[in-house]
Structure 1
Amino acid sequence: MPQLEVDGAALTYDDEGPRDGGGVPLVFVHGWTADRHRWDHQVAHFAAGRRVIRLDLRGHGESGGSGARTIQALAGDVLALLDHLGVDRFVLIGHSMGGMIAQTITLAHPERVERLVLVGSIAKMAYSRGRALLMSASTMVPFRLFVAANIRRAFAPGHPREEIRAYVEGSSATPREVVMTCYGAMRDFDVLDRLGEIDAPTLIVHGYHDIQLPVRQMLRMAKAYPNAEVRVIDAGHELPVEKPAELTAVLDRFVS
């Protein structure tokens, strides 16, 4: 797999599909403790007709490096890759933490983002007092249990247990330092008051059963966007793998 060295991290990425025709490239950014293969279904579909780029964020998947302490730093990695590939303008698609990265890039470089897609993401982490206490307490349990609890609750009830176990194993392989620093970066993330600056056509896709980032938080964000449409799918937080065909169809309609 091709890699790019960025600030001490070897970032693994895929750059697929035709270089001409079909519109600007699609750039997929995965979420916390995941990797670029969360997007396998979507990439297989779109790469048949247009250029598609995805990466493993630093410390995730097959990329090296320690965990970034801010979402801005992770956004810098994505931009460094796109600059390396000579991609000036693109459609940006982010899931969960990847959606936070996508919003950060769009606010910093609006001229480069043709369209923005947020999948299971929000603009500000918000907790009730009770949930904040629960989340703080969860960081004190053994690391593997902390990761497993967060990944299991990301799926809607009824999702096949063997698939969930596989995703728990993959997420648990992410180094502890990466998991915890990115977790802190998400908790500190807040661009809610700046969303009015984003003029790019925006698609917000969310799972109805998402308890990681509840629908009500997404709707609070969606109201702040001047040019957004919302789609709610019967799934949990892990839309790209829970309902891959349905998500791909929604994306296809929007980016086409």
Structure 2
Amino acid sequence: MPQFAVDGAELIYDDEGPRDAEGVPLVFIHGWTANRHRWDHQMEHFSAGRRVIRLDLRGHGESSGGAARTVEELARDVMALLDHLKVERFIPVGHSMGGMIAQTIALTHPERVERLVLVNSISRMVYSRGRGLLMAASARVPFKLFIAAQIHRAFAPGYPRQEVREYIRASAATPREVVMTLYDAMRDFDVLDRVGEIRVPTLIVHGCHDIQLPVKQMLRMATHYPDAVIRIIDAGHELPVEKPKELTAALDRFLSGPQAGS
């Protein structure tokens, strides 16, 4: 299992698919408390014909390292890994917090981003009253109970309970310091007034049942993008695992569309 040392962390990553493929590499970035396996379906599908890279962000999954204080720090980790792998141009695909990281990369390194894909993500964090109450209660309830409440909210009604429990278990393995510090980082994240600078073709995919980051927040973001395609899918916030085939199909259509990277 490959790993890369950066700024006190050991990042675990996967780098699969042909190096001489026609399209530029896809770089999959997971969200808060998650890990690189959120992208299993997409990795299997796209690695047949394109180079695909994913990582566990610092403090998540199998990667070590303390809590990042800002989304920008996580973006720097991703770019350090891509520099190490000698990847010049690529397409970042970010879910939730990973989409915040992807937008940060597109703004700070526009010359290296071929296209951009945002999945259940936004450009300015606005917490609902319900989620705000959950966060306020986090200091007074057991950590695992807090995580369970967050993950239950992330899935659309009807998603298999046993699978939800597995995601709760995986998320609860993320250190509390990492979880709470990144909550503050996401709360402070705001690039809404700058996303008009992102001139590359952008795919925005969102679950219509997302109550963590509601569709109306995504639409406010989308209106600022000069070249965006929007896809709404019948899912909650965890679209990559709730409806993996639908998400993969949307990516396929976007990558094969006009001005596709080559």
TM-score range with shorter-chain normalisation? over 0.9
Match of 1:243 in 2: 243
Match of 1:35 in 2: 35
Structure 2 residue 153 is matched with structure 1 residue 153:
yes
Q: TM-score, normalised by structure 2?
A: 0.95
**Distance of 1:131 and 1:38 partners within structure 2:** 25
Structure 1 outlier segments of 4+, above 6 Å: none
**Distance of 1:62 and 1:165 partners within structure 2:** 19
**Distance of 2:103 and 2:125 partners within structure 1:** 14
Residues 125-144 of structure 1: matches in 2 within 5 Å?
125-127=125-127, 130-131=129-130, 133-140=132-139, 141-144=141-144
Which letter maps to 2:116?
L
SS at match of 1:21: coil
SS at match of 2:206: strand
Distance 1:148 1:82, change over 3 A: same
Match of 1:169 in 2: 169
**Distance of 1:124 and 1:132 partners within structure 2:** 15
Deviation at residue 184 of structure 1 after TM alignment: 1.1
Q: TM-score, normalised by structure 1?
A: 0.98
Match of 2:259 in 1: none
Contact 2:69/2:182 (<8 A) preserved: yes
Residues 12-51 of structure 1: matches in 2 within 5 Å?
12-51=12-51
Match of 1:184 in 2: 184
Residues 103-142 of structure 1: matches in 2 within 5 Å?
103-127=103-127, 130-131=129-130, 133-140=132-139, 141-142=141-142
Contact 2:131/2:212 (<8 A) preserved: no
SS at match of 1:203: strand
SS at match of 1:53: strand
Deviation at residue 231 of structure 1 after TM alignment: 0.4
Distance 1:132 1:209, change over 3 A: closer
Sequence identity percentage: 74
Match of 1:65 in 2: 65
Match of 2:222 in 1: 222
| Residue-by-residue CA offset, 1:11-57 (whole Å, 9 max, x unaligned) | 00000000012310000000001000000000000000010000000
In structure 1, stretches of 5+ residues that fail to align are: none
**Distance of 1:145 and 1:133 partners within structure 2:** 16
**Distance of 2:44 and 2:91 partners within structure 1:** 17
| Residue-by-residue CA offset, 1:162-200 (whole Å, 9 max, x unaligned) | 000000000001111111111111111000000110001
**Distance of 1:30 and 1:132 partners within structure 2:** 20
**Distance of 1:204 and 1:39 partners within structure 2:** 16
Distance 1:86 1:132, change over 3 A: same
Deviation at residue 4 of structure 1 after TM alignment: 0.4
**How well do the aligned residues superpose, as a CA RMSD in angstroms?**
1.0
In structure 2, stretches of 5+ residues that fail to align are: 257-262
Contact 2:134/2:146 (<8 A) preserved: no
SS at match of 1:211: coil
Deviation at residue 131 of structure 1 after TM alignment: 4.0
| Residue-by-residue CA offset, 1:68-96 (whole Å, 9 max, x unaligned) | 01000000000000000000100110000
